[in-house]
Amino acid sequence: MASTAASDSPPGDGAAEGEVSLFRLYVLRAMYLLLVVGLGAMNVPEILSHPLISRGVIASLLGAVWVLAFLGLRYPLEMLPLLMFELAWKLIWMIAYGLPQWSTGRQPPTFAEDFFNIPFGAILLFVIPWGYVWRHYGKRPSTRWR
């Protein structure tokens, strides 16, 4: 057990970064920057000035993603779950909402904008270092339960 603990690298020591190329780290940072700029431009004004009776659930969720994207600029590998979340919700939207609405021709007024913007997130399929994800989230032993 002690050998297992000793072989695991503490976060931020550079060992994990060595598994992913410097170029890939910069591409990941670019994706976090895209989230910071994009969500900042679209969502922060709504958070700062909204009607008092606004529900605010979606704006708050997107605001949290925006805040966490700042951490991704500094810690691109540690914040990979944020990019995986982005990819997951966009894929779910495409499969459950976007493609069925497109195929039937019955679309809400915001469909054209959503159907353009949301699938753009598919670029994450090529940005996320899946080998790293597999080694650190798939193969690595899970945290003990008790």
| Four-residue CA torsion sign, 7, 8, 13, 18 | positive
Terminal CA-to-CA distance of the chain, rounded, Å?
16
What are the boundaries of each domain within the chain?
A: 20-139
Q: 3-state class of 77 per DSSP?
A: coil
CA atoms of 93 and 34, how far apart (whole Å): 20
CA atoms of 34 and 73, how far apart (whole Å): 10
107 band by pLDDT with thresholds 50, 70 and 90? confident
The whole model's pTM is what?
Answer: 0.82
Residue 68's φ and ψ, nearest 5 degrees, are -70, -25
Q: Are 118 and 110 in contact (CB under 8 A)?
A: no
pLDDT over 70 at 40, yes or no: yes
